[in-house]
Amino acid sequence: ASFDVPQTHRAIVAEQTGGPEVLQWTEAPVPAPGPGQALVRTAAAGLNFIETYQRSGVYPVDMPFVPGTEGSGTVVAVGADVDSVAVGDRVMTAAGVGTYAEHFLAPAEQLLPAPGSLDLAEAAALPLQGLTAHYLSRSTFPVQAGQTVVVTAGAGGVGLLLTQLCRARGARVVTTASTEAKRELSLQAGATVSVDYPDVQAAVEELTGDEGADVVYDGVGKATFEDSLACLRVRGMLVLFGGASGQVPPFDLQRLNGAGGLFVTRPSLVHYTRTPQETHWRAQELAEAVADGSLTLRIGERFALSDAAAAHTALEGRQTTGKVLLTLD
């Protein structure tokens, strides 16, 4: 197969940090794949919270900046020394460079085969939040049958996937979500109980006979951190994996002693996709779960990529559920 690759394309570019309005749909050069890289024609980009941190300056990036690490599409060109993918392959990745564009680059070894059971745009819904849910439940704290797990933002992108993976491992899952409709969605994904944020500790105590949860997966951060600690049993683990409500302020380690010999960790996906082998192992398990129906992707909303600013406003405004896709055409 061979494809004509244009010199320029359209992309979302931020010239400076700020609100969603800094995301402008503009003409930009199509990047050329360097050694070990592939160029992908985008089918869809996945929206992730990290792009809002980068846009607003919480995570510093060099400007001008084309956001996006997650996407799916067709390989249209490869650089030197690439043999893991070929032109024409249908791929998805959580390690793309600037996926908010009509074409994006990625390290060829971090391109994953798009599952045959999904259409190519839908495949952009899986890798970043899927790999995250996988490493959190398999590796950071390997969930076992009979354990009690708390998942914050249970109707969110990571939340719905993580809930399903923990249930598949035989755990009981308590989720939090801010509206009745979101709690209903979370229950459909397999949550044992789903409550509003202030009620989480009582729900855990009721389910565990005052023992507490084995693990709390907290991606909300600043607003939930104290309650998450309070939900844990002796020797329980708090996995702080994000800060949708803001970053957690500095913390006195001695409190972990007083609260029962607790563990706290703050992981990122890069720590759990360190080699192509590790990434492919996780992706393979996810693709199998999607194919056999044990893992359902919920695409809550699709925005045109040119409308990325509106998608950011919705995500930051707690208006979304499940995965948000940024699509072309």
Binding site for ligand NDP (CB under 6 A): 48-50, 128-129, 132, 153, 155-159, 177-178, 182, 219-220, 223, 241-245, 267-269, 315-316, 318, 320
How near is the Cβ of 76 to ligand NDP at its closest, in Å? 27
Residue type, 214: D
Assign residue 301 a region: left if phi > 0, alpha if psi is -120 to 50, beta otherwise?
Answer: beta
Nearer to ligand NDP, 90 or 182 (CB): 182
Nearer to ligand NDP, 76 or 133 (CB): 133
How near is the Cβ of 289 to ligand NDP at its closest, in Å? 18
- DSSP 8-class letter at 31: P
Nearer to ligand NDP, 90 or 280 (CB): 280
Nearer to ligand NDP, 153 or 283 (CB): 153
How near is the Cβ of 109 to ligand NDP at its closest, in Å? 19
Nearer to ligand NDP, 93 or 129 (CB): 129
Structure tokens at 124: 């952009």
According to DSSP, the β-strands at 103-107 and 37-46 are: antiparallel
Closest CA to 112 of 312, 295, 318, 279: 279
Q: In angstroms, rounded to a whole number, what is the distance separating the alpha carbons of residues 219 and 247?
A: 10
Instruction: Report the Cα 165 to chain-centroid distance in Å.
Output: 14
How near is the Cβ of 306 to ligand NDP at its closest, in Å? 21
How near is the Cβ of 281 to ligand NDP at its closest, in Å? 17
Distances (CA, A) of 187 to 38, 41, 93: 40, 37, 29
Structure tokens at 74: 């067709």
